[in-house]
Structure 1
Amino acid sequence: MTAFVLVPGMFTGTHVWQDTAARLTAAGAGAHPVALTGLDGPPRPEGGGIDLETHIADVVAVLDSVGAADRKVVLVGHDYGIHPAVGAADRRAGLVDRIVYLDSGMPRDGAPALAAVPDQSLRERLTAGGGGAGDVLRPPATRAEWDSWGSTEGVSDPLLDRLTALAAPQPTGTLLQPLRLTGAVADVPTTGVLCTGNGTSIEMVQMLVGFGDPALRALVDPRVTFFELATGHWPMLSRPAELADVLLRAAAGEGHRLEPVEETEPPVHLRPFVLDVPEVPRERHGNVDLHLPDTPEPRPAVLFVHGGPVPADARPTPRDWPTLTGYARCAAAGGAVGAVVDHRLHDLSDYERAAADVAAAVDLVRADPRVDADRVALWFFSGGGPIAADWLDAPPPWLRCLAATYPVLAPLPNWGMSGDRFAPARAVAHAGALPVVLTRVGLEMPEIAATVEKFLAAAEECGANVEVFDVPHGHHAFETVDPTDESREAVRRAVRAVLTRLDRPGTR
């Protein structure tokens, strides 16, 4: 018999598991939702606060009550619940056969659960000692407020009303206390259940693993499996039957396994560029490289902005990646200065400083005497796309073109971005006559493709000047993933379109 121990997330309690638990029980398994202290579990301890260790103890107590030699125990943590779940599994590793990460982050030793909270401004307030009422964080008071904690896609209005009515204040100590692990949990097999409606997919995780982030290396272990659910962040409410089926399959060791990064082959982002472009003189100025055309007079410039997040210790850095150097050489071959900036988008909370790096790089490029400061284009890739919003909102007269290739053009639901600064799909309404050159791949990850379609719908509504180049059989990063004639032609067309707009005299 399999016993599922179900740990709820922020503001929630055992009630969220009701339908999923019933389906697990009907399938012959045991279902044991955990009541967390201060949420819907025991009351606050006398003379003490509630912290992460309190909730770990709650989970340990349930594990001790259900663990037995004739049972397989699967520990499921949703959202914040993965932190006490992993902490409990570390203390009772011998009782846990598998941990299921249900649309959650990856807790690390020494890191508080606050690090996984999606709202950056809230993280800053709580770290500074504010943002909570007393020692609790108030739950969402309306349906709309739940969206800042994850996509509510698929959750009916009555269920969302019930979620709101039963929500409980989250003790801030549970978010601020660092998780302490002995390492025993590392030997427990795991399964990740990714909710694509919340902005995560297996393909995206595989891409991140390809960057070589040491924190993600463990995900290619054959004991690690993955499932996707086409719904938002609360699948126990929106898809309880599908979730129960996935949990049963996870318990049986089923699921998708990631492809290991072969050490004999370069990762995707370091494979050769799709075009064979001759090298040109290159100069390094701080965090900006200039690829220079063979011409004495000042020339227009294209600044290429990489995607991310990219781990801070990734080597080589993006300005040495074949895709970025390849495009920069294409620009130089066409008579423009090709500039590439290494910006500091290492985490989803880094967009402000990455945007500042890009703005500083623009100033550096325009100040170079070999650059015609009145003819500059900005070209954004992948996760660098949100930074384009600043330039769409208020295009300066010297910005002759803005290009984007397989970009993210609206924050994904699980990014938790407050405000609307980094939302090109909103900012395009202010772009005026600024030419936008967009390269769209036909085999894009669905969660990113949705942001592109949102952008194009907004652009059509406001009459923005957007030209789209499609790569029907292209994947994300097609310039190194898909070495085809279609890919080569797509790069040539996009580069030609940008350079043409730079060469046009006068203002937009």
Structure 2
Amino acid sequence: MANFVLVAGARLGSWAWDEVLPHLGAAGHGVHPLTLSGLAEKQGVPAGQQTHVQDIVDEVERQDLREVVLVGHSYSGIPVGQAAGRIVDRLARVVFVDASVPADGEPFVSAWPDGGAMVRASIVENSGFWPVAPTAHYEGHGLTDEQITRLVEGSTPHPGATLTEPAALERPLGDLPAAYVKCTLGDPEPSDDVAELLTSEHWQLIEMDTGHWPMLSQPSELARILLGIAGE
């Protein structure tokens, strides 16, 4: 059976996967939602990008997990992609859920249209943190008002250094067994860097007709996709 290690995106903690977990557990798999340092119940823990990578590696090694399906959503694709290359002997598949992908030597913000200038400025203005997003940020993503409220109220400011420090890849992403789950509502095409990775024989593309937070908007469908990736 697989061991799912689930890492949510910026500002979020392990709670974001709550509605996905029962579906994976009912199929008999190990389920390990992870909160990264500095977020949710781990607020106050200093964190740079390599801290988040190490959080993931430590979780896998501490529990001696094998057949790992490592799942990263949104921002967390950056540390997940790096961690996957460091646990390759334990890895069954890495799954990027509408996620950013790391480029060696580049920070998360480098892919933004302005090179990350606005995010960097916001981090400076907010004492080293990327502030919680307003309600409007979540509109148009297939979420109910209640789900948006959960996202807003459950979010915590995100440690800025994790967004601005460069990635360090131990092996090319295209060499890893991977799936990319593209949420097509409002943004139907993968980004150029993802499209290039999808030319690899080791990668597959799966589409979901929903917005950027499918663990809330379509949890049972996301779980079905993850189970399919795991070979159910």
TM-score normalised per structure 1: 0.43
Q: Superposed, which structure 2 residues align to 1:94-173 within 5 Å?
A: 94-117=89-112, 120=113, 123-127=116-120, 132-141=125-134, 143-147=135-139, 152-173=140-161
RMSD (Å), alpha carbons: 2.4
SS of structure 1 residue aligned to 2:72? strand
Change (3 A) 1:129 1:19: closer
Q: Superposed, which structure 2 residues align to 1:348-363 within 5 Å?
A: none
Distance 2:124 2:221 in 1: 36
What residue number does 2:49 align with? 52
Which residue among 78, 88, 93 is the counterpart of 2:83?
88
Q: Superposed, which structure 2 residues align to 1:347-426 within 5 Å?
A: none
What residue number does 2:32 align with? 32
Residues 9-39 of structure 1: per-residue CA shift (max 9 Å, x gap):
0111111100011111112112111111111
| Higher CA-based Rg | 1
Amino acid in the other structure paired with 2:57: V
Q: Which has the higher contact order (CA 8 A, sep 6+)?
A: 2
CA contact (8 A) 2:82 2:168 kept: yes
SS of structure 2 residue aligned to 1:94? coil
Change (3 A) 1:239 1:101: same
Residues 357-385 of structure 1: per-residue CA shift (max 9 Å, x gap):
xxxxxxxxxxxxxxxxxxxxxxxxxxxxx
What residue number does 2:214 align with? 235
Distance 2:86 2:21 in 1: 25
SS of structure 2 residue aligned to 1:56? helix
Distance 1:185 1:196 in 2: 23
What residue number does 1:192 align with? 180
Residues 318-375 of structure 1: per-residue CA shift (max 9 Å, x gap):
xxxxxxxxxxxxxxxxxxxxxxxxxxxxxxxxxxxxxxxxxxxxxxxxxxxxxxxxxx
Which 5+ residue runs of structure 1 have no aligned equivalent?
Answer: 255-508
Change (3 A) 1:185 1:28: same
SS of structure 2 residue aligned to 1:247? helix
Q: Superposed, which structure 2 residues align to 1:466-485 within 5 Å?
A: none
What residue number does 1:371 align with? none
TM-score normalised per structure 2: 0.90
Amino acid in the other structure paired with 1:159: Q
Task: Tell me the CA shift for residue 165 of structure 1.
Answer: 0.7
Distance 1:136 1:244 in 2: 31
Amino acid in the other structure paired with 2:207: E
Change (3 A) 1:173 1:249: same
Amino acid in the other structure paired with 2:35: A
Which residue among 61, 72, 90 is the counterpart of 1:64?
61
Distance 1:229 1:185 in 2: 22
Change (3 A) 1:116 1:14: farther
SS of structure 1 residue aligned to 2:42? coil
Residues 183-223 of structure 1: per-residue CA shift (max 9 Å, x gap):
1655320001011104124xx67xx6xxxx8x854422332
Residues 93-141 of structure 1: per-residue CA shift (max 9 Å, x gap):
2111111010013211111011245xx4692134468654001111113
Which 5+ residue runs of structure 2 have no aligned equivalent?
Answer: none
Distance 2:216 2:111 in 1: 22
Distance 1:218 1:233 in 2: 20
CA contact (8 A) 1:67 1:73 kept: no
Change (3 A) 1:128 1:240: closer
Distance 2:40 2:128 in 1: 17
Distance 1:132 1:27 in 2: 46
Extract structure 1 runs of 4+ deviating beyond 6 A. none
SS of structure 2 residue aligned to 1:76? strand
SS of structure 2 residue aligned to 1:50? coil
SS of structure 1 residue aligned to 2:79? helix
SS of structure 2 residue aligned to 1:5? strand
What residue number does 1:499 align with? none
Q: Answer yes or no: is 1:226 the counterpart of 2:214.
A: no
Distance 2:104 2:24 in 1: 31
Task: Tell me the CA shift for residue 57 of structure 1.
Answer: 1.3
Distance 1:20 1:138 in 2: 26
What residue number does 2:230 align with? 251
SS of structure 1 residue aligned to 2:68? strand
Distance 1:84 1:41 in 2: 19
What residue number does 1:3 align with? 3
Amino acid in the other structure paired with 1:63: V
Residues 245-269 of structure 1: per-residue CA shift (max 9 Å, x gap):
00111122x9xxxxxxxxxxxxxxx
